[in-house]
A and B are shown apart, each in its own frame.
Chain A
Amino acid sequence: MSVYNSEPPIYELSRTGKIGANLPALDVPAAALPPHLLREDELAGFPELSETEVIRHFTRISQRNVCIDTVMYPLGSCTMKYNPKLHEEAARLPGFAAAHPMQDQSLSQGALALMYQLQHYLGEISGFDAVSLQPAAGAQGEFAGILVFRAYHLSRGDVDRTEVLVPDAAHGTNPATAAMSGFKVIEVKSDARGNVDMDDLKSKLSPRTVGMMLTNPNTVGLFEEQIVEVSRLVHAAGGLMYGDGANFNAILGIAKPGQVGFDFMHYNLHKTFTTPHGGGGPGSGAVGCTAALAPFLPGPIVREAEQAGTYELFMPEQSIGRLKTFQGNFGMLVRAWTYIRTLGEYGLREVSETAVLNANYVRTQLQDLYPVAIDRICMHEAVLRGQIAGAQGIRTLDIAKRLIDFGIHPPTVYFPLIVPEALMIEPTETESKVNMDRFIAVMRQIASEAVETPAVLHNAPTNAPVRRLDEVRAARKPILRYNAEKFAELRRGE
């Protein structure tokens, strides 16, 4: 299999003297370029191919792309779900696609109206008073939030707050955001039910608390049962609540973060509101907040202009500034708007209900073989452990690799960090019962292989263009540019 599937690097397809296009004969006197501008070193070994060969090479590679449009893609914590193709048509409407960001606002009224409505919809869905569509993706939304928290505290003369509380189950971007904003990260433990440990939280709140960053449902796929009390305690200490919207797909139309004590959140439009992402990008990390924080939001934001039915951009008076050129990733905004308008209030609720039902279906069909991280009804994702009874020397990684042989993209593994051998499965609302039943059957087969024929798992994948990659060597000794000698060395080693 691998012989027929192997696609060499384009350098190895090169033949000296081949060209893809003939340039017309020079009809002006030749002039020498200044030597310091010549890039002869970089051109040495540059591949030489015909147009057909280039097309075939890249087409063959593209056909190996495993994605949501080709296979089941249960990538927990990332909400890889169906991106309706209708959105592509909407985003390509000439009035949107060809609008120039510098054109006069009077000529962009349609685009501004769409942004204004999207701000309103997102505010309504989440229970917030103000929304900015600026941030380019979730992590930038987080960055905006923590900068807004800082600006808010400073505006009140509250200058001693330096600590951001982050649960031990958090996405890595949360502590990274806090650190990048110049704050100290204080980790808060989880309790046995997967909630924030209240005693640990109380012991870590202080007059130094900037706020807390919390994902709800959290990264173990569980709803924080004491979210109202957590918010109350953080607020009582003078801190603010940041909501990481990565898992918003579980609660659309059911719970509003703004009503359970969050002061600020980001929406991953590219996850929850189905704008393509994951290598395809770009993302969009719009943010929403309470009225008290609204003056600090990144801008520009769209508001109604004096003349009825028209819109204009403005910067909030104490804005932390711009985070992105122009109006954020506008094409993503068009797609998110289309999604919300297509589904409406009840449709969005049904998305979350189906996503939660699907995750629980998979969980209940597998948890007799794969121990569940915490035995509770889960939200949009089920966190299991790759610790199969009676299987010696099998780790979650082996299970993930074996799934590739069945044409299923592996789920997130080894996250959240607090769950040993974690296997995080998120079917989303996209998968039908038929697809999930096949996934369940494959997972059950893998569990029995793990006990009876563990070598099958250790050798996996065998039914893929490449065998198991040496991730350790790739991380320790990466080869970042093509190098014929090093490649030959690698081949000899195999």
Chain B
Amino acid sequence: MQYNLPADLQYVETDEWLRIEGDEAIVGITDYAQSALGDIVFLELPEVGDTFTAGQTYGVIESVKASSDLYAPVDCEVLAVNSPLIDNQEPINSDPYGDGWMLRIKITGGTDQLLDVAAYTKSVEERDH
């Protein structure tokens, strides 16, 4: 299947994307992740001020098919959360890189583990074949 994976974003294996702006970033889940999960029906996000290390669980997402953890792509502190998503998860499916954003974070650690679009596309293809 074809997925919308914008070239200007950074990715992680656990299917989160980052839009890095200086030492801050916007975080959400990728088009592949929303497609694999199907219609999202529940979302749990952290509080502003919470801190995470890369790979740590920052929230929970649930669709009609499955529930899954959400993983912090980098060491970070949460600056803002997209709280309207808690009551209406539809934008995660319809607009994962826009209204479906989840967190604004301050990056507090390294970013070497992030994948560019080519590496992430390869990862998706391996799993989706």
Q: Which residues of A contact B (CB under 8 A)?
A: 172, 413-415, 417, 420, 471-472, 475-476
Contact = CB atoms under 8 A, between A and B. Distances in A.
A411 to B, nearest CB: 14
A429 to B, nearest CB: 29
A12 B68 CA distance: 39
Interface of B: 36, 39, 41-42, 64-68, 89, 127-128
A414 B65 contact: yes
Nearest to A416: B66
A475 B42 contact: yes
Contacts of A475: 41-42, 64
A47 B35 CA distance: 43
A415 B65 CA distance: 8
Contacts, number: 20
A331 to B, nearest CB: 33
Given A420-B36, A476-B41, A476-B89, A471 B64 contact: yes
B119 to A, nearest CB: 18
B52 to A, nearest CB: 14
Contacts of B41: 472, 475-476
B66 A472 contact: no
Contacts of A172: 67
Closest 9 CB pairs of A and B: A475-B41, A414-B65, A472-B39, A471-B64, A476-B41, A417-B66, A472-B64, A475-B64, A414-B66
Nearest to A172: B67
B49 to A, nearest CB: 23
A272 to B, nearest CB: 26
Given A471-B39, A475-B41, A476-B89, 4 more contacts: A414-B65, A415-B66, A420-B127, A472-B39
Nearest to A395: B38
Nearest to A414: B65
Contacts of A471: 39, 64
Contacts of B65: 413-414
Contacts of A476: 41, 89
A480 B65 CA distance: 21
A476 B63 CA distance: 10
Contacts of A413: 65
Nearest to B57: A185
B64 A420 contact: no
